[in-house]
Amino acid sequence: MKSIDAITQVLKSGFVTQKDIQAITKLSQATVSRCLKKLDDSLLVLPFSSPNKYALPAEDKGYSVQFKEVDEQGNESKLGTVYRLANDQYFVDLAEGASKLYLGEKGNGLFDGLPFFLDDLRPQGFLGNLFVKQLADMSDRYPKKLSSWQAKHIFQYLEEYGDDLPGNLKFGVGTCHLPRQPVYPVPYDKYDFMCEQIKAGVSQESSLGGEQQKFTVFSSELNADVLVKYTSNKNDAVTRRWKDILVTEYHALKILAAFKIPAAEIDLIDRDNRFYLVVKRFDRIGFFGRSSMFSLLSIDMEYVGLGENWQNIANEMLKLNLLSKSDNNSISILWAFSQLIANTDTHLGNISLGIKGDSFNLLPIYDMCTMAIAPKPNSLDPIDFTLPDLDTLNINQDNKSLVLEMAFLFWQRIEKDTRISGEFRNYLKTHKPYKKLEFQS
pTM for the structure as a whole: 0.90
Per-residue confidence band for 30, with pLDDT thresholds at 50, 70 and 90:
very high
Q: What percent of the chain has pLDDT over 70?
A: 93
Structure confidence at residue 308 (pLDDT): 94
Question: For 265-296, how does the pLDDT look when each residue is reduced to its tens digit (9 = 90+)?
Answer: 999 999 999 999 999 999 999 988 999 999 99
pLDDT on residue 155: 82
CA 397 and chain centroid, separation: 31
- pLDDT-derived band at 361 (thresholds 50, 70, 90) equals very high
Question: Which phi and psi (to 5°) does residue 98 adopt?
Answer: -75, 155
β strands within 25-109, DSSP E? 44-45, 53-55, 64-70, 76-84, 90-94
pLDDT at 24: 94
- Asked if pLDDT for residue 175 goes beyond 60, the answer is no
The whole-number pLDDT of residue 174 equals 46
Q: Is the pLDDT of residue 157 over 90?
A: no
CB distance 85 to 95 below 8 Å: no
Contact 417, 251 (CB under 8 A): yes
Neighbours of 48 (CB within 10 A): 11
> What does the pLDDT read at residue 178?
45
pLDDT in tens, 133-146: 888 888 888 888 88
Mean pLDDT of 344-352: 94
CA dist 380 → 122, 240, 247 (Å): 31, 11, 18
Reported confidence tier of residue 437, pLDDT bands at 50, 70, 90: confident
The domain limits of the chain are: 3-55, 64-177, 188-256+263-285, 306-440
- Residues ≥6 apart with Cβ < 8 Å to 407: 337, 340, 341, 434, 437
Report, as an integer, the average pLDDT of 427-435. Answer: 88
What is 257-297 written as a DSSP string? Answer: HHTT--B--EEEEEETTEEEEEEE-TTEETTTEE---EEHH
| Greater pLDDT, 278 or 433 | 278
**pLDDT score for 153:** 85
Query: Quick one: pLDDT at residue 268?
Result: 97
Q: What is the mean pLDDT of residues 237-264?
A: 97
Residue type, 201: G
Give the range among 192-206, 297-311, 320-334 with minimum mean pLDDT: 192-206
In terms of C-beta density within 10 A (0-12 exposed, 13-18 middle, 19 or more buried), how is residue 426 classed?
A: exposed
Backbone φ, ψ for residue 122 (5° rounding): -65, 150
Examine the pLDDT at 127 and tell me if it is beyond 80. no
Q: What is the mean pLDDT of the chain?
A: 89
Provide the total of helices (H) and of strands (E) in the chain, helices listed first.
Answer: 14, 17
Q: What is the pLDDT of residue 313?
A: 98
Residues 320-345 have a mean pLDDT of 97
pLDDT band at 16 (very low <50, low <70, confident <90, very high): very high
For range 165-176, the mean pLDDT: 76
Place 439 in a pLDDT band, splitting at 50, 70 and 90: low
Residue 82: helix, strand or coil by DSSP? Answer: strand
Strand partners, 111: 90
The more confidently predicted of residues 422 and 437 is: 422
Q: So what's the architecture of 188-256+263-285 in CATH?
A: 2-Layer Sandwich (3.30)
Q: Answer whether residue 87 shows pLDDT above 90.
A: no
Distance CA(305)–CA(299), nearest Å, equals 9
> So what's the architecture of 3-55 in CATH?
Orthogonal Bundle (1.10)
pLDDT above 90 as % of the chain: 66
Closest CA to 46 of 5, 124, 106: 106
pLDDT of residue 316: 98
Q: Tell me the pLDDT tens digit for each residue of 199-221.
A: 876 544 444 444 578 899 999 99
- The predicted model gives 38-57 an average pLDDT of 91
Most confident of 49-63, 120-134, 176-190, 302-316: 302-316
- The mean pLDDT of 61-90, rounded to a whole number, is 89
Rounded CA separation 68/173 (Å) = 10
pLDDT of residue 70 exceeding 80: yes
Q: Are 22 and 28 in contact (CB under 8 A)?
A: yes
180 vs 312, which has greater pLDDT? 312
Residue 287 or 258, more confident: 258
> Mean pLDDT across the stretch 364-391?
92
